[in-house]
Amino acid sequence: MSVVLSSTLLYKVSHAHGQRSLASVGFCYHRRTMPQPQNAAAVSIRVATKDDAAICGKICFDAFHAISSAHGFPPDLPVPEAGLAVISALFSAPGFYCVVAEIDGRIVGSNCLDDRAVIHGLGPITIDPSAQNLGVGRKLMRAVMDHSQHRGAAGIRLVQAAFHNRSLSLYAALGFDIREPLSCMQGRTQQRGIPGCTVRKAQIADLENCNALSHRVHGFDRGADLAQTIEHGTASVVERGGRITGYATDLAFFGHGTAESNQDLQALFASAESFGGPGILVPSRNHELFRWCLANGLRVTQPMTLMTTGLYNDPSGAYFPSILF
Ligand SMILES: CC(C)(COP(=O)(O)OP(=O)(O)OC[C@H]1O[C@@H](n2cnc3c(N)ncnc32)[C@H](O)[C@@H]1OP(=O)(O)O)[C@@H](O)C(=O)NCCC(=O)NCCS
């Protein structure tokens, strides 16, 4: 099972509940009594198993629901089933390292690391709301960062909710630098195509060209991720002048895309009827692309931030990250 499936499940779950707007979901978080650690040493970390997905999926939903609702934003996960779907998929996905935190044998949170590329992607990390701000998150961060270092990654990246002071502070304290403000955008572009650009489903034969493009823009490729999404049927490419000038693994919260120009990304965006999950993550400092999205009727649902540690080069092309990076 791949992360693509998570993205699709998230989308399907939200639509199965008839939610055109994620904001329409009511606040339903109930605080539970949780054993409090006397000190950080009372928290133990272990590798996650498939059997942990039910409790961790509930914690994931509760944690995101609580923080988003507290700030008046629609939750990333519209219903508890979406939390379960995402965590179940990640805990059993090839190329993911996932850990859980326990206090007195009771699970209080989890964290995941996508180690399919030379740059690793971190998240989602979620702690039971009744056990937050007690050092559990820091331990879960350290666990996957240590694993990443052990695997010889060139760097780690993540995307955080820009309104969340605690995650911003924790990540920055652990060495993550703010790289890019992002606007999560949802809707259907009024312009339904870009002259000179053709968008089609990606095929496995496109992999080499897409990877080469990613190397030119980012300095590394995400071929394993792309191959899985091609197999799953969510990936697309844009062609201009008879060659591939951009690709997207999915036009969704869990999808990323890389292109030679904004024109190519616009063609990809215009090919979607809507974006899976809360939306796509548009780099807000890409003024031309951001304004084109706004002029085309897309709406900003929440501000987010791309943070990185280790190797980072300013991309020499156009791109949009997934919720992982
Ligand atoms: C974000 C989250 C994972 C952090 O885990 P946690 O266990 O609550 O955090 P910790 O107690 O380990 O660490 C919080 C740190 O932030 C600091 N902090 C908290 N609020 C702060 C603020 N307003 N300004 C500065 N520092 C702050 C704390 O002092 C602590 O610092 P320290 O590690 O140096 O002592 C958790 O709160 C959570 O699940 N939140 C909801 C879901 C979410 O947003 N997940 C992240 C997705 S990107």
DSSP string, 80-147: HHHHHHHHHHHHT-TTEEEEEEEETTEEEEEEEEE-SSSEEEE---EE-GGGTTSSHHHHHHHHHHHH
Do the domains spanning 3-156 and 186-320 agree at the CATH topology level?
yes
pLDDT on residue 137: 98
Task: Map out the domains of the chain as residue ranges.
Answer: 3-156, 186-320
Segment 151-208, tens digit of pLDDT: 999 999 999 999 999 999 999 999 999 999 999 999 999 999 999 999 999 999 999 9
Task: Name the CATH superfamily for 186-320.
Answer: Gcn5-related N-acetyltransferase (GNAT) (3.40.630.30)
- State which ligand 1 atom lies nearest to the alpha carbon of 165: 23
**C-alpha–C-alpha distance, residues 152 and 206, integer Å:** 28
pLDDT above 70 coverage of the chain, percent = 87
Instruction: Kindly give the distance from the C-alpha atom of residue 159 to the centroid of ligand 1, in angstroms, as a whole number.
Output: 15
pLDDT on residue 30: 34
**C-alpha–C-alpha distance, residues 23 and 15, integer Å:** 13
> Is the link from the previous residue into 124 a cis peptide, with omega within 30 of 0?
yes
Backbone dihedral angles phi then psi of residue 288, each to the nearest 5 degrees: -65, -45
The most distant pair of C-alpha atoms in the chain lies apart, rounded to whole Å, by 64
3-state secondary structure of 196: coil
Tokens of 57: 């999926």
Its pTM surpasses 0.85: yes
Task: Give the binding-site residues of ligand 1, using a 6 Å CB cut-off.
Answer: 63-64, 67, 123-127, 132-138, 160-161, 164-167, 169-170, 173
The CATH code that applies to domain 3-156 is: 3.40.630.30
Instruction: Kindly give the distance from the C-alpha atom of residue 182 to the centroid of ligand 1, in angstroms, as a whole number.
Output: 20
